[in-house]
Amino acid sequence: MPITTLILDLDETVYPSSTGLWDLIGERIFAFIHQRLELPAEAIHALQYQYFNSYGTTLRGLELNNGIDARDYLDYVHDVPIENILAPDQELHDVLSGYPQRKVIFTNSDKNHTQRVLERIGIADLFDGVVDVQDIRPHCKPQPEAFQVALNLFGGLDAADCLFIDDSLRNIQTAAEMGMSVVHINEKKQPSLLYPTVRYLKELPQVFSKDGEIQISSALADL
């Protein structure tokens, strides 16, 4: 069955991890918890680890257990100088625009941040839908319920018609279990063996042809 839709994660998928943008957001998350909950550093790290594993994101844990307002949190943690960190990427635009499939974003961040990132890179015109962490409440990636809500919101897509692209292995695993084709973005190129892997989104043609065929895993090909 040919792929009709590319579903892309945002952070550390449409831009490389090595830009450091996500690290800056991580510092903002830490500062937010420090200010609001008045916890010492070790306790914040432990809390984030627990929330990430139990709820999928720090935000969901803070909402459920600490009465944190999602809008307040999202605006604070994404208040980072994207323009100083990311640059327009014409090569990425050329690669993505070569694919005839519909392209959408599915992210555990929010729409404001998504729009800023896409516009800064110069690829916003290629996407016709965004499902963000507010849309999939109370779930988030990697929970299957979040994926199902996203498929519904994108117009009732069948998992089998979608290619899901994400830097998070646990998100990739859920998508694959639901029947999607997957590509793992992994800048360090640690071979997962299970899934087609590329270092950067612009390398997508190495594992996915324009007519919608998944190629051999590049991780396997390297062995």
Residues 51-110 that bind Mg ion (CB under 5 A): none
Between 36 and 111, whose beta carbon lies closer to Mg ion? Answer: 111
Between 39 and 203, whose beta carbon lies closer to Mg ion? Answer: 203
Between 126 and 220, whose beta carbon lies closer to Mg ion? Answer: 126
| Strand-strand pairing, 197-198 and 162-166 | unpaired
Exposed e or buried b for every residue in 104-138, given b needs 16+ CB within 10 A? bbbbbbbbebbebbbebbebbebbeebbbbebbee
Q: Give the position of tokens 């949190």.
A: 73
Q: Select the span of 37-45, 82-90, 164-172, 201-209 touching Mg ion (CB under 5 A).
A: 164-172
Among 129, 127, 116, residue whose Cα is nearest residue 201: 127
Using CB under 5 A, pick the residue from 3, 6, 9, 154 that binds Mg ion.
9
144: tokens are: 């299957």
132 binds Mg ion (CB under 5 A): no
Between 11 and 132, whose beta carbon lies closer to Mg ion? Answer: 11
In sequence order, the β-bridge partners of residue 162 are 5
| Closest CB 212 distance from Mg ion, rounded Å | 23
Using CB under 5 A, pick the residue from 3, 6, 7, 12 that binds Mg ion.
12
Q: Give the position of tokens 């996407």.
A: 127
Residues that bind Mg ion (CB under 5 A): 9, 11-12, 167
